[in-house]
């Protein structure tokens, strides 16, 4: 944070203040909702959660040097100053909106059905070749995580890259009100969150709420190969595999788990070859998206290439792990039909015996069975040796694969523990193993066990 006081926070969220007058003008060192992250000068926001009420930790944060606490409960004899509001989470958002408007740096907002995090990492890797970049950490892309990300922007930062996720109408509108993006980047419109948004047109409409509070001179960039996003071509620059896009790629060469090589064209006369160190053709789209942002912020081609080639994986997201017995594609942080099919394509590019361990995909609504089945049918033209499905919803995937892919041995388990009891009978040393499911399935347990 930079130059934001307790008083400014109070005024932004219309809070009642309890404490000494002189403490109002103390500059905050940060804002935290997790008491474990509190240090001297922090403002602690007490969030009442489903399992734990943050108010119980208020005494602890004063002992750690917190400058102030934000509470929606009146406190008796607190050990330090506090702000009282009706709703601490709403107050946090209002204060983040106010703090954002004190910042004069470019802020890139990234959204889409698939690939937000990997695209965010690519954009940040590229921009870091020239700028001091603040990026969203972990899964802090919702109405609680985004304001905390905004408060992490400090005086040293020259650009912020903010991932923006949603699954209901109105959420992106509220995120945009805080983020105020100067650049909007859309990865694709898939089928994630159909349960709440009804159709891909509904998803597009909800994602476009990002424009509601964007800068007046906002620059937008969209995946022009997406049939829904291409409808924004009159207000956005496009990227894709089609040479009619503003930035496009060709000469794509899959390198298995070692990544993908391609040539990216920045216009009709200029292009560069690069090797993206993470696997999958979707990474080419991420590289093109990052190229668009890099060009918009004045990076050279050499800087953009260096950013692409220095990209590092995140745990659970296309992360290649070389263990004593297996090569793992750890992609278990999240899943939807599009990303799961792409991960299967990556697995198919390897030269080892191939094992796919797939689990349930959430938030697919009434089409859940047919969408799980579509992944099973996708195996028809692949050469995956063993398919392991785990969970109730993935039974539809299992049945579709049995019918569509006779070349693949298909096994189904009710839960992770049941599968782990059988791993010695299923896997062989030297296997290439894909592990992918929605986060709620707890597939990190599988990755840890195989490591």
Pick from 274, 270, 271: which is nearest to 262 by CA? Answer: 274
Pick from 237, 235, 233, 441: which is nearest to 332 by CA? Answer: 441
User: Is 114 annotated in some ligand binding site?
Assistant: yes
Q: What would you report as the CA-atom Rg of the chain, rounded to the nearest whole angstrom?
A: 23
Residues 270 and 276 sit within 8 Å (Cβ to Cβ): no
String of DSSP letters for 155-166: TT-SEEEEE---
Pick from 36, 53, 165, 143: which is nearest to 96 by CA? Answer: 143
Whole-angstrom distance, CA of residue 170 vs CA of residue 167: 9
Reported as type and span, the H/E element at residue 149 is helix 145-151
Residues 318 and 331 sit within 8 Å (Cβ to Cβ): yes
Residues 245 and 285 sit within 8 Å (Cβ to Cβ): no
User: Is 429 annotated in some ligand binding site?
Assistant: no
Residues 347 and 318 sit within 8 Å (Cβ to Cβ): no
Spacing of C-alpha 362 from chain mean position? 16
User: Is 113 annotated in some ligand binding site?
Assistant: yes
Whole-angstrom distance, CA of residue 15 vs CA of residue 342: 48
DSSP 443: T
User: Is 116 annotated in some ligand binding site?
Assistant: yes
User: Is 111 annotated in some ligand binding site?
Assistant: no
User: Is 394 annotated in some ligand binding site?
Assistant: no
Whole-angstrom distance, CA of residue 330 vs CA of residue 318: 6
Q: Which two tokens stand for residue 191?
A: 């089928």
User: Is 339 annotated in some ligand binding site?
Assistant: no
In the three-class reduction of DSSP (H, G, I as helix; E, B as strand; rest coil), residue 4 is classed as coil
- Known binding residues: 112-118
Annotated binding site for ATP: 112-118
């Amino acid at each position: 944070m930079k130059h934001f006081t307790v008083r400014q926070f109070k005024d932004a969220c219309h809070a009642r203040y309890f404490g000494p007058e002189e403490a109002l003008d103390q500059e905050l060192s940060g804002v935290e909702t997790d008491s474990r992250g509190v240090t001297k000068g922090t403002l602690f926001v007490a969030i009442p959660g489903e399992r734990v009420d943050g108010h119980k930790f208020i005494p602890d944060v004063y002992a750690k040097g917190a400058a102030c606490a934000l509470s929606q409960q009146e406190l008796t004899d607190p050990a330090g100053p506090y702000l009282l509001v009706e709703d601490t989470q709403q107050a946090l958002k209002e204060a983040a909106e106010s703090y954002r408007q004190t910042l004069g740096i470019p802020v890139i907002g990234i959204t889409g059905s698939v690939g937000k995090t990997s695209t965010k990492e690519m954009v940040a890797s590229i921009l870091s070749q020239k700028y001091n970049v603040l990026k969203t950490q972990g899964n802090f892309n919702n109405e609680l995580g985004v304001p905390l990300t905004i408060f992490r922007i400090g005086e040293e930062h020259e650009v912020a890259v903010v991932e923006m996720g949603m699954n209901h109408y109105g959420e992106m509108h509220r995120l945009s009100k805080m983020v105020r993006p100067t650049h909007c980047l859309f990865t694709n419109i898939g089928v994630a969150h159909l349960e709440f948004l009804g159709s891909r047109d509904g998803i597009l409409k909800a994602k476009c709420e990002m424009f509601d509070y964007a800068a007046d001179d906002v620059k937008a960039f969209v995946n022009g190969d997406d049939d829904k996003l291409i409808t924004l071509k009159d207000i956005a620059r496009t990227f894709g595999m089609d040479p009619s896009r503003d930035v496009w790629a060709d000469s794509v060469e899959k390198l298995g788990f070692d990544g993908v090589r391609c040539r990216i064209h920045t216009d009709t006369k200029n292009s560069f070859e690069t090797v993206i160190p993470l696997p999958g053709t979707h990474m080419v789209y991420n590289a093109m998206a990052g190229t668009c942002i890099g060009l918009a912020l004045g990076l050279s081609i050499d800087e953009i290439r260096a950013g692409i080639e220095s990209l590092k994986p995140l745990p659970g997201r296309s992360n290649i792990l070389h263990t004593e017995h297996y090569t793992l594609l750890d992609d278990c942080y999240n899943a939807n039909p599009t990303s799961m099919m792409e991960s299967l394509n990556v697995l198919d590019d390897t030269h080892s015996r191939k094992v796919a361990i797939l689990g349930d995909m959430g938030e697919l609504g009434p089409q859940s069975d047919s969408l799980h089945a579509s992944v099973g049918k996708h195996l028809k033209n692949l050469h995956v040796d063993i398919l392991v499905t785990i969970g109730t919803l993935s039974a539809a995937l299992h049945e579709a694969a049995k019918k569509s892919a006779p070349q693949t041995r298909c096994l189904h388990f009710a839960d992770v523990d049941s599968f782990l009891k059988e791993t010695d009978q299923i896997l062989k040393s030297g296997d290439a193993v894909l592990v992918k499911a929605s986060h709620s399935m707890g597939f990190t347990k599988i990755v840890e066990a195989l490591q």
